[in-house]
Amino acid sequence: MKEITQGKRKQVWLILLLFAACFVIYALWNCFGLSLISDGIISTLIDSVLIKALIWILPVMLFIKEEHKFKNMFRGRFPVLICIIFICATAAFLYTIRILNGFVNKYVIFDPMFIVLSLSAGVIEELAFRGGYFHLLVEQIGFWPAAVINGVMFTLMHYPGLIVGNFSGLISLRTLLIFSMGIAFCFMYHKWKNLALNMTVHTVWDILSYLFCLAG
């Protein structure tokens, strides 16, 4: 673990405050802002792409130091074989959940719009949480502390209802899974230095979750 100097400690607190501010804005938007736009493809794109990008990507990118170029997030070689292995493991894990939930003979009506939702989540969340928050934290405090904090951040992002006291579902296997995924994605980025790997696996995970685990 890296030595945490006073300057690094201050930097970490600034990063945490930035996340807290973004989370409050995102949570308020989810709880109250969504009612301002009507349902439909346009509103879905505004909410899942535009608003999400403005809240999560823009602030953390502005916070990143000048020498942390955008291209550095993709500087590593894309590990095709590793990507295939992760995708196969993802498919096997999610299909096992499908079987355990008795969804084998139940199917969802596939909506192409979910491809857009999954892609936006895979790209935006990886840019913000691994390319942004994790990258900033790991330089200050080392891998494991940064990964654990990032896992907590990633989990909180999926529970915007906390802002209005809605704690339902917080203590669940889903929470543990999201937290574990946050750490796993940190490991992937730290190991292979290519955010494209994270984005690919994250997007496929979301698509397969929809197809395998939301049936019935």
Residue 68 counted as domain residue: yes
Tens digit of each residue's pLDDT (9 = 90 or more) over 49-65: 889 999 999 999 888 87
41 burial level (CB within 10 Å; 0-12, 13-18, 19+): exposed
The count of domains in the chain is 1
Its pTM stands at: 0.91
In angstroms, the Cα distances linking 144 to 84, 102, 182, 189 are 25, 37, 12, 13
Residue 48 counted as domain residue: yes
Residue 34 counted as domain residue: yes
Residue 141 counted as domain residue: yes
Residue 59 counted as domain residue: yes
How confident is residue 36, by pLDDT bands cut at 50, 70 and 90?
Answer: low
Mean pLDDT of 195-210: 95
Residue 1 counted as domain residue: no
Residue 19 counted as domain residue: yes
Tens digit of each residue's pLDDT (9 = 90 or more) over 119-159: 999 999 999 999 999 999 998 999 999 999 999 999 999 99
Which has the minimum average pLDDT: 80-94, 95-109, 139-153, 172-186?
Answer: 95-109
Q: Which domain holds residue 174?
A: 6-213
What is the Cα–Cα distance from 20 to 26, expressed in whole angstroms? 10
Residue 130 counted as domain residue: yes
Tell me: pLDDT of 4 over 50.
Answer: yes
Residue of 112, 97, 75, 79 lying closest to 177 (CA atoms): 97
The 10 Å Cβ neighbour count of residue 187 is 15
